[in-house]
Structure formats: C-alpha cells, structure tokens
Amino acid sequence: MDIQESILKTIAEAFEQLFNHKVDSEDLSLQPTRKEFEGSYTFVLFPYLKITKGSPEQSGEKIGNYLKENHPSVADFNVVKGFLNISLSSAFWIELLSQMMTEETPGHFAPRNQKVMVEYSSPNTNKPLHLGHLRNNFLGFSVSNILNAYGYEVIKTNLVNDRGIHICKSMVAYQKLGNDETPEMAGMKGDHLVGKYYVLFDQEYKRQIKELMDAGMTEELAKKEAPWMKEAQESLVKWELGDEETVSLWKKLNNWVYQGFNETYKKMNVSFDQYYYESDTYLLGKDIVTEGLEKEVFFKKENGSVWADLSNQGLDEKLVLRADGTSVYMTQDMGTADLKFKDHAIDKSVYVVGNEQDYHFEVLFKIMGLLERPYANNLFHLSYGMVDLPSGKMKSREGTVVDADDLIQEMVDTARSHTQELGKIDGFSQEEAEKLYEMLGLGAIKYFLLKVDPKKRMLFNPQESIEFQGNTGPFIQYTHARIAAILRKADQIGLDYSSNNFDGLGELENVEKQLVFMLADYSKKIAMAAEDLSPAVIAMYLFDLAKEYNRFYAELPIFSEAKNEVQSFRVTLSDRVAKTINAGMKLLGIDVPQKM
C-alpha cells in the first residue's frame, strides 16, 4: 500500500470514528499541496461538510488531529479554508529515499508480456526529412522508450512511402533534366538530390498549368492535362505493371534517398526495429478490397472504383481502390495493418502521424472493425500538431522546406557559440567540447519539440530552445552536470553516500522533503505518459525536478554542513535526482553531460 492509500484509509476511519459515517477510502482522494502552503498532500473538505456538520476549519482540525494520532507517518497538518494540508514526518521521507536507492533504475516496471508496435517517421522518398519529421521521429522514439519503461515489449517501425505519385514526380523531372547526375557529382546527400528534382517538377508543372490556362483551359482541366503530370501518372501505372526501365529508375532514386535518411536518423539518434515498404504492402491491400466486396463492407461504383460507405457510422464514403485498379493510401494501410499483426502478434499498434490525417485513421480503424479484425479495438492514432517557425509555415513543394539536417547543424552551431560565450567549457579538450555541443544542440531541439502536448500545434523557437535558463533541455542538462560535479567532489573527499543509513539525521528541511516527494512521483509520471502517449508529461516533470533541485542547491549547504550525516544525505539525494534526470531524459532520447 502506498502512502496516499494509507492516509486515505486513515481518513475513512476518521469519518467512521468522529462522525459515525462509513466512507469507502477508494472514493476519497488527495492532491499535491500547492507550493505556497506547507504540506505534501491536501484533502479537500468541502464535499464532506454535510457529513461532518461543522465548518471547514473545525472539520479539518478534527480529521487532522485524528491523522496525527493514528497514522505513524503524519507529523503535522494545517487547515486553510476548506483544505486540509498534511505534512509527513522526516522519518518517512528518509526511509522512502533509502528504499528508492535500492532500485538500480528509477521508474522500472515489471514486464507486462504484451507487444506494442509504434510506427513513426514514415517518410516519402521524394525529399529530405524536415522540421515536421523531427517532431514525428522524436515523438515516436520517445513514446517507444516510455512504453518500454512501462513494461511493454516495443517494436519500433518505419513504414516508408516508397511508391506513389510523389516519387513519380521526382522520376519524371530527373528523366527530363537529370543528365545522369549522382549525389557524388552534385556534392549532395541522396535525399537532397531527389528532393531537388521534386521541386523542379513542381516549378515546371506550375508553368505548364499557366500556359494551358492562358490558352483558354480551366484550371481544373489544366492541372490534369499538364504534360508532366500526365507522364507522372503514366509512370505510376508502368511501375505497378513492373516496367523494367521505370522500376530501375525508381530503385536508383529510392536507394539514394535511403542513404540520406540513414545519415539523418543517425544524427537524430533514433532507430527502428522493423522497416515496411508500401511497395510490398499495396498488393495485400488489394486482397482486402476483394474480401471487403465479398463481405459487402465495400461497394463498386459504375466507373469500377471501390468505396467504403461509412455514413451509418457518422462518417462519409471513402475510396479504397481507384477505377484504374491502382491503390490509394487506404488500400496500403489496410494491407499493412494485417501484415503487422501477422508478423509480430502484437497487442497494440500506435500510428504517429500528423493531425491532418485524423479522418483517414478514424476511417481505417472503422473499416478494420467492419472487416472483423480481432485487433481493430487496439489501434491508436497519436495525432500531433504542425510545427511552425517564427518565420511561418513550411511549404516543401515550393523549395522553402526547413531541412532537418540544416536545422540540427544550426542548433549545434548555436550551442557552440552560446556555450563558449558563457565560458562553460573550461578545461575541455576539443573532442569533449564538440561532443558537448552536439549533446546540447540535439537536446535543445528534442526537448523543445517534446515538452509541448503532442496534440497542440507549436512554434519552434531555435534561440529560446538553447537557453540555459527556463524550460529548456540545456537547463536540465546543466543541472545534471552540476550534480555530477558534486558527486565527483564527494568521491574526492571520501564521503560515503551509498550506505542508505541515515540514523541520527534529525529533521529534514522542506525543500529536501519536496525533492524526495518529487522523486517518488517519477513512476506515476511514466504511467501517465504511457497511458496518454505523451512525452510532454516526462518533459514537464524533469523541468520541475531540475527547478526544485536548483532551489535546494541555492538554499542549503552541502559540503560546508557541519554534520557528516547531513552531508551524506544531501549528496545521496543529489545522486538520486541525477539518476532520475538521466533516466527521464533517456526516455526523451536525450543524453546528459557529466560536466559543463
């Protein structure tokens, strides 16, 4: 039984003994005491005044005194209006820290014997990864880490959009303008080179539309009749028919893109256990379309296209196969859903995809339910908002994309100049300094993108993200480095902070109790982050913990403290904070430095 359950049980006893009224302790709740009041937990009295038949102050005094007399860990209380604030004894907090220090890894959960697949990244093979992909990858990787810490076996998956009209556009432009250019010849990463031809296609396509409209054609018709668009459509049909020349060019361009992506993933420090390719799954989807027609889940229109009618589910009609027999995204996603469960027998599947696809996934999950797939109720869409920069929304087709590689490099460069300016690398070798800049630059961008609730659209401010003060990655990283320096000093002077024996310590200061309280909360935060699929829960917790530790550091001496036991306790407490920061930042995919 944890401390909250134990206190609530005693409060339930108080109702029976003092007010002759039976209350189930499970119907009662505590909340953390607000910072401006003394105490750790608060019991709200207002809902129970009919039972106590007294004022909030009188009722609080009675219940508070009962707790003090009957609960061994309750040391004191105070009543503020209708709120009973409960303070626990120093002995309780000391014992709690001693117990925590026996756990090797903070926030460890027992295996659940359940598999979860988290699908993220899912790039198109026609352009490099951009700022939006950074949020996607960091979210997917972090959610995978959090679910793993929560006891799930996690399979990190990347579904690559390697076929379709997007790559055909790059292929057409390359055929027309490429002159057999290679990444080596261009001095570019492969994904950047293929992206260049995607932009060139778009520029020429717009020119052709304008030309046709100037000749009297409507815009809608001009978009269809533009020669390069017609060639791209033909290229897609040829690819599906297995035309040798088309497939050969497709493979060449895609391989260049994969080489580029792998470099970027390495920079991002994200990884995958399984890759799926749409070129392998779209045919499976076609089989499901046939099955859906037989089960009357789908219907065929006069032009031969196949649709799902979900109007009785509060949705609309959705295309699942084009009239010319080619696949749409829904076809492929149905096939891939079946394939995932066949390959891994997973219990849950999480799709990390932007909120512009909310309707798509609502439809997909409904269709899989109508097709009576046993896994249909365990499909989850982690829908996240767009990322803007102060300069405004990104538009990749116009060639103004905020490139992921460039942005990461810019963050590392900013970390370098900022750190040098503040003089935080004294005594570092060049190699150590460069490693720190990368750690801070990547930590800054990851933390900034993860600290916001995934569902919210957000503004990424590169300059703000790198600051050493405020709710930033570098602030938390700096706090870890500060504690690492304290631990090194403790080792140098031979201070023992590993025995967990704090006899004779006496009363703790409030800031010490608050730190132990926050450390004990870490497991609950992991559970909340896992249930909500939200790394923002962990990010905010780490910021609050680092902030509280810095208050502790400012208010209380460590090595100048006269009593050896107090020194030892404060270093032990610091050690546990460092371990928790390290563990929590790892869940976010962020490394922490040992010195700064």
Task: Please name every residue paired with 115 in a beta bridge, in sequence order, or none if there are none.
Answer: 153
What pLDDT is stored for residue 37 in this prediction?
Answer: 92
Does 8 fall in a domain? Answer: yes
Q: Which stretches within 451-472 are classed as H helix?
A: 462-465
Q: What pLDDT digit, counting tens, does each position of 88-111 carry?
A: 999 999 999 998 988 888 988 999
Cα-to-chain-centroid distance, residue 212: 46
* Integer Cα distance of 358 and 360 in angstroms: 6
Contacts of residue 147, defined as CB under 8 A and 6 or more positions apart, other chains included, come to: 116, 118, 154, 350, 530
221: helix, coil or strand?
helix
What's the CATH code of the domain at 452? 1.10.730.10
CA 536 to CA 591: how far, in whole Å?
17
Supply 169's token pair.
Answer: 């556009």
The residues, any chain, with a CB within 8 Å of residue 455's CB and separated by 6 or more, are 355, 383, 384, 385
Residue 395: per-residue pLDDT: 45
443 and 532 share one domain = yes
**Given this model, what pLDDT does residue 425 score?**
76
Hey, how many other C-beta atoms are within 10 angstroms of the C-beta on 242?
8
* Residue-wise pLDDT tens digits, 188-219: 999 999 999 999 999 999 999 999 999 999 99
Please indicate, yes or no, whether residues 176 and 142 belong to a single structural domain of this protein. yes
We report the CATH number of the domain holding residue 67 as 3.30.1360.70
Tokens coding 437: 């800049």
**Residues 233, 264: one domain?**
yes
Alpha helices by DSSP H, 243-277: 244-268
The total domain count for the chain is: 3
Contact 121, 351 (CB under 8 A): no
Name every residue whose Cβ is closer than 8 Å to that of residue 69 and which is 6 or more positions away in sequence. none
Answer yes or no: do 342 and 461 share one domain.
no
Structure tokens at 226: 């533009």
- Do 298 and 378 have their domain in common? yes
Residue 222 and residue 347 in one domain: yes
DSSP for 158-195, written as a single string: EEEB-SSHHHHHHHHHHHHH-TT--HHHHTS-HHHHHH
Residues 420 and 547 in one domain: yes
Print the domain residue range for 69: 3-88
Identify the segments of the chain with pLDDT beneath 50.
Answer: 393-399
Neighbours of 260 (CB within 10 A): 24
Nearest C-alpha neighbor of 211 from the set 201, 199, 228, 226:
226
**Which two three-digit tokens encode residue 195?**
């992206």
In a domain, 25, yes or no: yes
Q: Cα separation of 514 and 33, whole Å?
A: 10
**Helix 131-149, helix 564-587: angle, nearest 10:** 120
* 455 within domain boundaries: yes
CATH of the domain at 258: 3.40.50.620
The token duo for 176 is 């027309």
Taking the C-alpha atoms of residue 459 and residue 392, their distance in angstroms, rounded to an integer, is 9
Q: Locate tokens 């065929």: which residue?
A: 300
- Of the candidates 391, 428, 422, 415, the residue with the CA atom closest to the CA atom of residue 590: 415
Shared domain check, 408 and 383: no
How far from each other are the two terminal CA atoms of the chain, in whole angstroms? 41
Domain assignment of residue 399, yes or no: no
Torsion of CA 105, 109, 113, 118, to 10 degrees: -80
Which pLDDT does position 501 carry in this prediction? 72
Pair (422, 531) in one structural domain: yes
Residues 463 and 320 in one domain: no
> Smallest Cα–Cα separation from 536: which of 452, 443, 446?
452
Distances (CA, A) of 222 to 203, 226, 435: 15, 6, 53
